[in-house]
Structure 1
Amino acid sequence: MKIGSKSVIKKAYFTWPHQVSIGENCICEDHVNFRYDGIWRPGPSIVIEDNVYIGSNSEFNICDHINIGKDVLIASGCKFIDHNHGYHRIDQKIRLQPPEVEAIKIEDDVWLGTNVVVLKGVTIGYGAIVAAGSVVTTSIPSMEIWGGIPAKKISSRNNEEFNNHMRLSGTF
């Protein structure tokens, strides 16, 4: 397992520690579950960049990959699940069907409220905010505020802040 300098990891659970990489200056509160849900393979598959806060009782249930960008705030009880059970074949039991798997990406400066669930294939853009208790089933553009089940756009943040970020990063 890789843990960057000045990071604090309280009581946490790991199925495959080599699948987890945590950057510098991160805080991981109690009872966070880092679950790589698959057979052994080289890692890491759970990548958390610098200055990330992860609240207690959060869960990473990953078969493929998740990348958490810099300066992300993840409140208590959030869940990240990059796979579903296969269910399309009616002639085969659901538990025997191969899973549907797609990576998750959380870009920089995102804030996820308490008990947010992020499902497979989702990208949450730079500076986005997701309201407490939301279930994110589709990607969220940068600088938007979403909430609900399933999560939908509620509002936008200041576009000037986003444009400054894009200029400084060389994107435009």
Structure 2
Amino acid sequence: MKIKYLVSQSLFVIRFRYIKKLASYLRCSKLRLVGMKIGKNTVLSHCHLTWPHQVQLGNKCLIEHGVYFHYDGIYSEGSSIVIGNNVFVGNHTEFNITAKINVGDNCLIASGCKFIDHNHGFNYNELINSQLCSEKPIDIEDDVWIGCNATILKGVTIGKGAVVGAKSLVNKSIPPFEIWAGIPAKKIGERK
């Protein structure tokens, strides 16, 4: 029994410590070649990108599998999706960006979150799918925690140290150190 346990632990360590790091290193190297900016000691699992040069990741980030960096625009210079240092992004999170999103340092973004910085026009006299989209950047300040499956819409600023509850729909800016939850999100508390 003890030998079986040691073998399974060794395989676990090899798989998650060494093979995962090697795969991340190779993935980061490949993406750097096509223009993505990736900081030191960032671990990047398999993700989806439309324009790699539009994404900038800071140092010591952990990006889980299935994250979608979708820059929804034509080719342009510079980064539109900017993630700070020491940020965790959970699996299957979607950044659907036309203008810009900034995520500060030391943030936690749980699995399944969506960030959408644009919206379709809906004037009566025109077809909806032919109208121009309105767009406003999203700004996530330092030390923010966003719960799983939350949706953050255009023009929102989430203040330093704020918390967003799971499955919340944030369509208004959140002041620093406040806790918001619900659909639409409302203040339910403060960090003290």
When normalised by structure 1's length, the TM-score is 0.91
Q: Given the alignment, which residue of 120, 125, 131 partners 2:154?
A: 120
Cα offset, 1:43, TM superposition = 1.8
1:34 pairs with 2:77: no
**Structure 2 counterpart of 1:149, which letter?**
I
Cα offset, 1:91, TM superposition = 1.1
Count of residues paired in the alignment: 157
Q: Going by fraction, where is helix more abundant, 1 or 2? A: 2
1:155 pairs with 2:189: yes
Cα offset, 1:90, TM superposition = 1.1
Q: Distance in 2 between matches of 1:74 and 1:81?
A: 14
- 3-state SS of the aligned residue for 1:21? strand
Q: Distance in 2 between matches of 1:27 and 1:54?
A: 6
Cα offset, 1:26, TM superposition = 0.0
The aligned counterpart of 1:71 is 106
Q: Going by fraction, where is strand more abundant, 1 or 2? A: 1
> Which aligned segments of 4 or more residues in structure 1 are displaced greater than 6 angstroms?
none
Q: Distance in 1 between matches of 2:50 and 2:160?
A: 30
Cα RMSD, aligned residues only: 0.4
Higher relative contact order (CA 8 A, sep 6+): 1
Counterparts of residues 3-82 of structure 1 (less than 5 Å): 3-82=38-117
Identity rate of aligned residues, in percent? 55
Q: Distance in 1 between matches of 2:191 and 2:52?
A: 37
- 3-state SS of the aligned residue for 2:129? helix
Q: Structure 2, unaligned stretches of length 5 or more?
A: 1-35
1:110 pairs with 2:134: no
